[in-house]
Structure 1
Amino acid sequence: MPGIQRSALACLLLMLLPSLASAQPPIIEGERFHSESGQHAMVVTSHELASRVGRDILRQGGNAVDAAVAIGFALAVVQPRSGNIGGGGFMVISDEKSGEVTSIDYRETAPAGSFRTMFQDEQGNVIEEASRYSANASGVPGTVSGMAMALERYGSMPLEQVMAPAIRLARDGFAIPGRFADGLNGSREQLEKNEGTRRLFYKADGSDWRSGEVFKQPELAATLERIAQNGPREFYEGETADYLIDTIKAHGGVMTLEDLRDYRAIERAPVHGNYRGYDIYAMAPPSSGGVHTVQILNMLENDDLTATGFGSAATMHLMSEAMRRAYADRSKYLGDPDFFDVPVDALTSKAYARALRQQISLDRATPSADIGPGNITPHESNETTHYSVADDSGLAVSNTYTLNFSYGSGIAVEKAGFLLNNEMDDFSAKPGVPNAYGLIGGEANAVEPGKRMLSSMTPTIVKHDGKNFLITGSPGGSRIITTTLGVISNVIDHGMNIQSAVSAPRFHDQWLPDELRIEDGFSPDTVRILENMGHHVVQKSAMGASQSILINDSGFYGGADPRRETSSALGL
């Protein structure tokens, strides 16, 4: 399967050519971006080295879960701004043979020493830096526990085997791409505030990183070796745990060894919906992603989006109005289900969606001030990373995990070689006050000890006639839900192939602030029509990086998102 190197011109054309409202974006063929037909397995990640790791595990006889776990640890090495062992996330797994679809919640938890007002000053004002760049910004990490649970319950290989590629990459190093160099060079001011982070991630002479230079991480290699040899509890109870808590204490944080020892990933039933005959399975709370993806699709189901067309003002208006109502509900009803009775069935019911749809005018935008959480019967950082894997045995994995901000809190566990997350910012530091992504949270997402903070991560698997059809998800903070929604709609409503569905320009509306955010690539005429309908249209930078797989009778197809220069789809 021949691969190609993407040129800057090709990238520019991919993003800018779909300017006509009904146009589908062009496809870049080749193994790095769109796989040929006839493949019997597929791996799509945000980094070519991680995709190779997953493909190699499949070639060795591993299944999709083995490959997904190997990829998770590999990304912790080659993409430290978002790949991690110091953060957490969610995994959705579908097994065609058994018909079972399940999910693993390895979201971080608030330390036992956390309290409701810990990120407020004496006057009750939110201290933003405290929930983002301090030791108390970090929740108890879940990645190692979650990966190990997935492997033990659904994988076929031992932990040492699937971790071996990540250990080699950390020990021997790898040639860094431009995005890696630019990320560290551009984050120097924030990251060098912490001496351990500076020593781990920057050169002793203070010079900038350059593309192609080799980056080695001996401390991280040693940590991964300890976990591989001694099992996942080493991270939570062994030498690595001691290093982590020593770092937290040195920076004045409240997390303890007991917090680490008490952490457990949780297997949960995913949210399930049906859209035009396709079964949608996505992450349940404490992620809001599955609930609101299904909720929005329910609102759209009785409208003919195929007829109105991709990128038309009519389609964008309807989807925007549905998005806003879902995000309004998110502000009140979503949180950790172990602490709050989240009304999942009510929010995802077809009847509730019909009631919300009746509020939407076909020719006029509803001001956000006139929208609020619905009355129901009782009931990401941008630098998150997502990947998808599917094999020929009918096993598929959709995984999204993160440190929250790029490089998390910026605080590194120097002796262990990894960065800590700043997921505590995803709690409502003060209910009603927006977080870093402009999202409003309520009492359901207030800080409490042991609680999992609300997330927008939306790993999703779509099935058709009992078979895995679409594996998708994305990073992007509050835009994760709408990015994933867009890929699903592009495939089902507009008949796009998977690369076109992933590459197409995106739009997003989260209720507050009152704006319809769009990427470059939509027709100026469409924008004018939307503005005349009352939408406040704002063009901003690219959103998300959806690494997706589509499976049909002719094979497995991978769509690697061109918004990340290192994105890679590999089949075998």
Structure 2
Amino acid sequence: MQNYPKLLICLFLTFSFPMSNFAQSGRIPVRAENGMVVSSHYLASKVGEEILSKGGNAIDAGVATAFTLAVTLPSAGNIGGGGFLVYHGANGDKTAFNFREKAPLKASVDMFLDEDGQIKDNSNHEGLLSVGVPGTVAGLYKAHQKMGNLPWEELLEPAINLAENGFESTYNMNWFLKWVKEHHDDELYAATAKAFLKNGEEIYKPGETWKQPDLAKSLKRIQQNGADGFYKGKTAKLIADFMKEHGGLITEKDLANYEAEELAPVTGTYRGYEVVAMPPPSSGGVALIEMLNILEVFDLEEAGANSAKSYHLLTEAMRRAYADRALYLGDPNFNPKMPLEKLTSKEYAKKLQEGIQIDRASKSDSANFNKAHLRYESPQTTHISVVDKEGNAVSLTYTLERSYGSKIVVPGAGFLLNNEMGDFNPIPGHTDTKGLIGTKPNLVAPGKRMLSSMTPTIIAKEGKPVLAIGSPGGRTIINTVLQVVVNMIDHKMNIAKAIESPRIHHQWLPDRTRFEDFGISPDTKKLYEQMGHEVYEAGSQGQAMGIYIDWENDLLYGAADSRSYDGKAEGF
């Protein structure tokens, strides 16, 4: 392959660093020949790499890594949440799996409201009403049954071993353990204390061995019975009985009826590359393609990486795509007339480009959209990128929603439940400046999937995948993935530099831009503000995990975002 000049890694890296399993550090990618896994926990990445070395394919490694993260990264890795997987084979085959959570059958449009029509006790984010029917196990099982190579049982074994025998805890969990200790007397969180605290009472110190016997038993049931080991039988009964006892809505029928979906990805093009991404109920793919279509007419390479001009153009694309996200997107099974073809078309992008001034900020006009402001969405998600020896690529993002989800562990089952119901619009028809939005496409309905920002993406060239990328970060996910893609294609950065570069975020409303509080110079900020943009600074944005495939030299380059405390790229 000879047509990848805009994505070529600096050639000196090919000769300066040995083939190895050394940890990716900063702006230096890990290099490998036969396969690679990048995730937010080094133990999970190692498990995925070992699956590849045993002859597993990218799907096998993605499944094994995801189950391992359910043990080692409980803030986001899960069997009690949901997410999305995008696949692109070396032969050009591409598909996607939707395992987003669903609202229980007893859910209703006003389920979170009190008599005055206000949200009661933050019930859309806390407590059992916030829990959606989990999808992770069904999605991973469906992907494996369709495309896996190694036996299902083998893929669960590493996670079970880590849960049973334990592993060293890290500082990454410290704040959560303190929270659990403070709430261990609360009946709703009693099983959380049992699972996460030493003897149910004391905080594990970093380096101490943490074991999860109840989770190991749940994983064994999945190992032995596939998806039925979660959605039927003992695990399902444990969930349903706990829900019934404490006022939750999920029943054994909800669990037995849950099904993951295989979908066609949404696709677009950008400067000769194909963009392959997740369709709704993820908003990420549609918004990413729309933004890239808008940007394609502008010379970002000439504008310069991380310049005020580049940030301005990125912002204007973000502004327009996020407005369309809020107006149109939701679960396609409940919104069959979403204009996806229009939103991802070059013709529509051309109309949006016409309103962009090269040196002046637009204004997000709330009057054009019922004064809607976008809601907060938790940044606690996690992403896995995998490429196997054949060059097949997987991009997998899944989540519990907030960090550690609802913080509620199912007694006897050992895993955390999500609080994804908070991603629905909670008050029908009500929007305000605090961030609530009440438009129809994403209102609660029984069996409906809530809208997501997760953006697992694969960039391809001439029918072959060249980049697998994704990130956690809630509403910022789409813009994080956008900037990594632009950094590689337009600014010719290697995968590690593209991921490490500073990031911005604009989501249409409120009309202001989030700058990471490091890496962006005061001069750049000043020039950007002089164009009419309002800026505020915040901490790290996202934790991108990516792999670049150099087909010409038969090499893989991976990078785990240094914003991830325990992240690592593992290749061989």
TM-score of the superposed pair, with normalisation by structure 2:
0.91
Residue 32 (str. 1) matches residue 32 (str. 2): no
Q: Could you tell which deviates more after superposition, 123-132 or 300-309?
A: 123-132
Cα distance in 2 for partners of 1:55, 1:105 equals: 24
Equivalent residue number for residue 355 of structure 2: 359
- Residue identity in the other structure for 1:556: L
> Structure 2 vs 1, CA of residues 201 and 65 (structure 1 numbering), >3 Å: closer, same or farther?
same
Equivalent residue number for residue 12 of structure 1: none
**CA positional deviation for 1:205:** 6.8
Cα distance in 2 for partners of 1:149, 1:59 equals: 23
> Structure 2 vs 1, CA of residues 190 and 342 (structure 1 numbering), >3 Å: closer, same or farther?
farther
SS in 2 for 1:510: coil
**What CA deviation, in whole Å up to 9, does each residue of 1:159-191 have, x standing for no partner?**
110000000000000001211234423565467
Cα distance in 2 for partners of 1:132, 1:387 equals: 25
**CA positional deviation for 1:417:** 0.4
- Residue identity in the other structure for 2:47: V
Equivalent residue number for residue 565 of structure 1: 565
Equivalent residue number for residue 71 of structure 2: 77
> Structure 2 vs 1, CA of residues 441 and 491 (structure 1 numbering), >3 Å: closer, same or farther?
farther
Equivalent residue number for residue 90 of structure 1: 84
**What CA deviation, in whole Å up to 9, does each residue of 1:33-74 have, x standing for no partner?**
154445221110000000010011011111111000000100
Equivalent residue number for residue 104 of structure 1: 97
Residue 443 (str. 1) matches residue 447 (str. 2): no
Equivalent residue number for residue 46 of structure 2: 52
Equivalent residue number for residue 158 of structure 1: 151
Structure 1 segment 320-469 matched on structure 2, within 5 A: 320-340=315-335, 341-369=337-365, 372=368, 380-431=377-428, 438=435, 440=437, 442-469=439-466
- Residue identity in the other structure for 2:481: T
**CA positional deviation for 1:209:** 2.4
> Structure 2 vs 1, CA of residues 305 and 269 (structure 1 numbering), >3 Å: closer, same or farther?
same
Equivalent residue number for residue 241 of structure 1: 236
- Residue identity in the other structure for 1:77: V
**CA positional deviation for 1:200:** 1.4
Equivalent residue number for residue 10 of structure 1: none
- 8 Å Cα contact 1:185/1:209 also seen in 2: no
**What CA deviation, in whole Å up to 9, does each residue of 1:393-419 have, x standing for no partner?**
131100000000011111110201001
Equivalent residue number for residue 129 of structure 1: 122
Residue 216 (str. 1) matches residue 211 (str. 2): yes
**CA positional deviation for 1:128:** 5.9
- Structure 1 unpaired stretches of 5+: 1-23, 375-379
- Residue identity in the other structure for 2:109: R
- 8 Å Cα contact 1:462/1:468 also seen in 2: yes
Cα distance in 1 for partners of 2:479, 2:180 equals: 27
**What CA deviation, in whole Å up to 9, does each residue of 1:235-264 have, x standing for no partner?**
111100001111111220111111001000
Cα distance in 1 for partners of 2:46, 2:73 equals: 14
Residue 261 (str. 1) matches residue 256 (str. 2): yes
Cα distance in 2 for partners of 1:305, 1:371 equals: 31
Equivalent residue number for residue 17 of structure 1: none
- 8 Å Cα contact 1:328/1:371 also seen in 2: no
> Structure 2 vs 1, CA of residues 195 and 437 (structure 1 numbering), >3 Å: closer, same or farther?
farther
> Structure 2 vs 1, CA of residues 320 and 460 (structure 1 numbering), >3 Å: closer, same or farther?
same
- How much is the aligned-residue C-alpha RMSD, in angstroms? 2.1
**CA positional deviation for 1:107:** 0.4
> Structure 2 vs 1, CA of residues 38 and 331 (structure 1 numbering), >3 Å: closer, same or farther?
closer
Cα distance in 1 for partners of 2:127, 2:353 equals: 43
**What CA deviation, in whole Å up to 9, does each residue of 1:59-99 have, x standing for no partner?**
111111100000010000001111000000000011122x2
**CA positional deviation for 1:208:** 2.6
Equivalent residue number for residue 193 of structure 2: 198
Cα distance in 2 for partners of 1:136, 1:458 equals: 26
**CA positional deviation for 1:121:** 1.5
Structure 1 segment 421-570 matched on structure 2, within 5 A: 421-431=418-428, 438=435, 440=437, 442-519=439-516, 520-552=518-550, 553-554=552-553, 555-570=555-570
> Structure 2 vs 1, CA of residues 239 and 465 (structure 1 numbering), >3 Å: closer, same or farther?
same
Cα distance in 1 for partners of 2:66, 2:437 equals: 30
Cα distance in 2 for partners of 1:503, 1:217 equals: 34
SS in 1 for 2:348: helix
- Residue identity in the other structure for 2:257: D
Equivalent residue number for residue 5 of structure 2: none
**CA positional deviation for 1:31:** 2.7
SS in 2 for 1:285: coil
- 8 Å Cα contact 2:425/2:436 also seen in 1: no
**CA positional deviation for 1:438:** 4.2
- 8 Å Cα contact 2:223/2:229 also seen in 1: no
- Residue identity in the other structure for 1:162: L
> Structure 2 vs 1, CA of residues 365 and 472 (structure 1 numbering), >3 Å: closer, same or farther?
same
Residue 120 (str. 1) matches residue 113 (str. 2): yes
Cα distance in 2 for partners of 1:81, 1:188 equals: 16
> Structure 2 vs 1, CA of residues 432 and 414 (structure 1 numbering), >3 Å: closer, same or farther?
same
- 8 Å Cα contact 1:490/1:501 also seen in 2: yes
Q: Pick from 281, 289, 292: which aligns with 1:286?
A: 281
TM-score of the superposed pair, with normalisation by structure 1:
0.91
Residue 300 (str. 1) matches residue 295 (str. 2): yes
- Residue identity in the other structure for 2:44: A
Q: Alignment identity in percent?
A: 48
Equivalent residue number for residue 19 of structure 1: none
- Residue identity in the other structure for 1:509: H
Cα distance in 1 for partners of 2:218, 2:178 equals: 25
- 8 Å Cα contact 2:180/2:193 also seen in 1: no
- Residue identity in the other structure for 2:22: E
- Residue identity in the other structure for 1:175: E
Cα distance in 1 for partners of 2:466, 2:184 equals: 41
Q: Could you tell which deviates more after superposition, 504-513 or 246-255?
A: 246-255
**What CA deviation, in whole Å up to 9, does each residue of 1:408-440 have, x standing for no partner?**
111110201001000000011124657999474
> Structure 2 vs 1, CA of residues 343 and 143 (structure 1 numbering), >3 Å: closer, same or farther?
same
**What CA deviation, in whole Å up to 9, does each residue of 1:198-243 have, x standing for no partner?**
1211123733321101100000001111111122112111100001
Equivalent residue number for residue 8 of structure 1: none
> Structure 2 vs 1, CA of residues 346 and 430 (structure 1 numbering), >3 Å: closer, same or farther?
same
**What CA deviation, in whole Å up to 9, does each residue of 1:245-286 have, x standing for no partner?**
111112201111110010000000111000000000110000
Q: Could you tell which deviates more after superposition, 206-215 or 184-193?
A: 184-193
